[in-house]
Chain A
Amino acid sequence: MSAYSVNISVEAPVENQIQEITYDGQEIYTPPLTMSEHLTKLAQKIDFAKCGPEELNKEITEIDKNEDEAEQSTAPPLWPWDSVRNKLRNALTEVSVLADVLSIAKEKHYMVLDPVPQEPPELKPMVQVYARKKALAGAASVLLSGADRLKNLQAEALRNRTTPDFHIELLRLRQNFRLKKVSNSIVGDLSYRTAGSKFAQNGTFEVTKAEEDGDSPLSPPCSPNASLSNKPTSALRVTVPSELQGVAFIKVFFQKDQDSLTAAQLNLPSSSTANAIPDMYWQPKLEAAQNVLFCKELFNQLAKDAVQLQSPIPHIVVGNQIIASVLPGIQLVIGLCHSGVSTDGKTAVVPPSSNGHDHVLEHSLHQLLRELHHKNTHHPFPHPSSGPIGPSKRRRLAGPCAVDREELMQMTQSETMLEQVIKQAQHINLRDRTLFVLDRLAKDIKDPLITSHWNALNSPTQSCVKINIVAHMYDTICRTSLLIHVNETTLKCITRDGRVIHMSYESQELRDFIMCQVYLHQMTAVQNLAKCMGWQCLANSAQLGVGAVEPFGNASSCVLASPTGERLISVRCEPKSGVHVTIAQSPRKDFFPGQLVKERKWENLGGSFKEVRWDKMEGKNFLNKMELLMASLTSS
């Protein structure tokens, strides 16, 4: 027993009637009725005469009433069940009579029911005809009056075609939006709740009959040209909640790092086209309100994500803008522009970067929110259908496939909308940079031609480009191909010989890499050309360890010998300073027997290498020059 319990006693109230109060205040109660007395009292209340069809019992009730009166006139009955007994006896009599009649009618053994022939009624044909004619006339008059009424309505509708009917308009409205009748007003819903949105803001609008315009009947007679009025009037007026009025859109653009955040405008101002006509036709008005709701939900979701996400540079939510950093130095700004109908009197201020907003990202944002809605309504269906709804197919298969803990963890991670948009923005940025670098290189480097083919089909977070390096007119001799995958913040380059190189978003890395590839191409091309010309490649090295250290990449070189062996060409390619070509002659021209080296035969050891003045050399490009050089050395 706890200390807080209280004992409560329950008593029935005193029900017995007080018979007498004695002089000393004592109350004497009437003794309570015994069970039999109680039953008698209730039985007396039953009136057996009142149950049953009235026609049969009408006479019986009369008789009974007489009997009751007779009984009441005498002293109260000795036996309380007397009246009950009498009534039951009467009922028994009636029932037996009925039983007798039924047995006679059915069995026909000793007595039969015989109909009494009656005279047929007189037929008066003329009276019948007149009666029928009157009846038909009455029906015809009803139908005619109805038809007249319909004809009048239609004629009126034809005449007043310009003012459309409220109900027709309502029907058309109902085809597009969900309407409901609440007490005596019509209320509609323009939110995305049925599509899967969980946004809390209300999207109800009210539909009312538009008041009659005073001057509209006057204008047609005055100016027959203006029969088509500029403002389309409609029979119904739609009232949209104040926070959804006007036009809204989401604006996404990039901006370079700004020193102070106060430079960011708090209110991205409205466009000047929203001079709303109060009596605007309801369809665009409702669509605009729905768009406002969608944009609000989108911005709300993004703002929530921005606040919850942990990132190295935190996202900023200021007013109606979200600023997220995409790459160091570049920020993504997502803003909600909402122009209300209420006239502020302020003129619109043009924002500084009004022409740079990214339509693709805005469309992506819309798509992402729609995807969210879709996921809320469409749940993956389980097989067998008795399984739980909720887990995706992969999660359901995780059990029977004995999936690891790490994979299960990965399944639980999902990306928020803001993260996805940031990834897309990063990819767009990196793709633009890569494009710029490749185009610049193609413009700057004329000698081997660099062509880039971008894939037509890409994903929002990955693109691919194929780069070909060929020398003009020597594309059959040698062609270097590269494939670059552009991801969000990294580049992956795959060369023909199977090397995979991962680069970051710095464009200098890509530039250096392509330069190295260009010079490697030159070297390979020279060797292939030598094969074509009949020259022999004595030695080659792709990563040369002699000479000055290069700032990026390595020098490469090769030594070629002429078909007769008399001439040698040495080519050295340096990514920084270009190509150096030197030639040597095998029997030395400048051999003079000296003190140490006396015999003639030593002239065959070959002379020293002398550099060729490459800029003076004839030929359109490097390979052309090499070809001409080889040709001239072979012949002389």
Chain B
Amino acid sequence: MLSVYQVYLLPGNSVYCGSTISPSQIPLYTKCILRLKVILIFYSLQGRTLILKDIKSHESLSLVCITQLERRMADAGNKESAPIGGDEFTNTELENNKNNTMVEEGSTLLRRMEISVAEAEKRTGKNTVNMQEIFTVYLIETRPIDAITEGHNPAPDSLWRRYSEFEILRNYLLVTYPFIVVPPLPEKRAEFVWHKLSADNMDPDFVERRRVGLENFLLRVASHSVLSNDKILYHFLTEEHRWKEVVYETGFQAKADSRIKALSATFRVKNPDKRFTEMKHYSDELQSLTSQLLRVRARVADRLYGVYKVHGNYGRVFSEWSALEKEMGDGLQSAGHHMDAYAASVDDMLEEEEHYADQLKEYLFYAEALRAVCRKHELTQYELETASSDLISKKQQREELATGMVRTFSFKGMTNKLFGQETPEQREAKLSLLEEQIVQGEETVTEKTVECEEYVKGAWVDMQRFKEQKDRDLREALIGYAVMQISMCKKGIQVWTNAKECFHKM
């Protein structure tokens, strides 16, 4: 029995074929990011084998794995009803999906709304200094899920945004939710480029990869239990023109911590939560390692390119040689063609590998977001410590004034000694001021303590979530990479076997 399902895979997941899954266990709502393009996949079932097909060409995708689904099978553990054909979703399927999204609790925006970054276009306009510039805009499409489930297929709402607007959104989220490891944006400029890859921001491949990265960003944000409920995010997705004013009105820019403040807090904080300190070290490691990995990978790609391309020269010389020969000619000529094919095959393979590099880059940038959360903790802790020590010193001053004993050195005390004691009225005034300050101070300390505790609680939860997400995603990335290598080896075997047959016929 053949049934057709429309599926989405949340970002960071990949699929590959070869496993058998019973029909009832397929979670829906999985969008697969494959070959730098986001494509919809139809699953078709014959018996118990799952076959994945490209929606446009209907050709089977052999590179596609189903680990994520299998893991979810183990995780889910609840009985789902068999999915129905076409693009309808029942409530149970949505329930299923809820268990299978990356966020466990709360309702997320992504569940109510389908979001995608569908296209990219070049525009020209005047920039802030009134000069002509070319920039790229990206089309964000949204569609409410309800509309789809009711069997309609409405056209999506859409608006155009440029990269800088995404940056503003992210900065807003960073300031507003400092305890959340905020998903990163794709890189602003092309880095870790191997020589054939363009470092030009206008290059179509770069733009395409950025489109995917931006969509990934939106999907991650919209599926986060906390971030997805943000109104500004919603506006970003739905209101093209007024959004910037609205976001600036929140005054988030003013709330941003100054760098200097943050830095000095890092040095002077006395008792940060040990777990956060460890996490900060980890984030440093993650950043340095992924960056090193990306650099070396780019060099490896370069060298591999060279190896393959030189083989193309064999194609040419075999062709020339075959013209000299009688019986050997045909075999040589055909072998030469295979050498050409071999040399040409490296382009596609390396382009595909860029997807792996993009996955690593995402976590390179995530490391920075993680560090930011740890440092914010250090800042809040430092502020608490400062408030506490301020309070203590104020209390000590009060004690001194009341008892007349000088315990702490102060200029006031010295000048008093030099120029004479103050009057009882003056002392009273000072005492009551101090009392006020102490009351305020105690309030501040209480506030800061609560703030710190809540921060630690919230941040720790999100850091755990992040850790699990990271483990999952990177594992998937490694699997994807291994699958790519396997495909590359198989192609190599194929080409050389073909060439060998031609040599045999010489």
| A and B from one complex | no
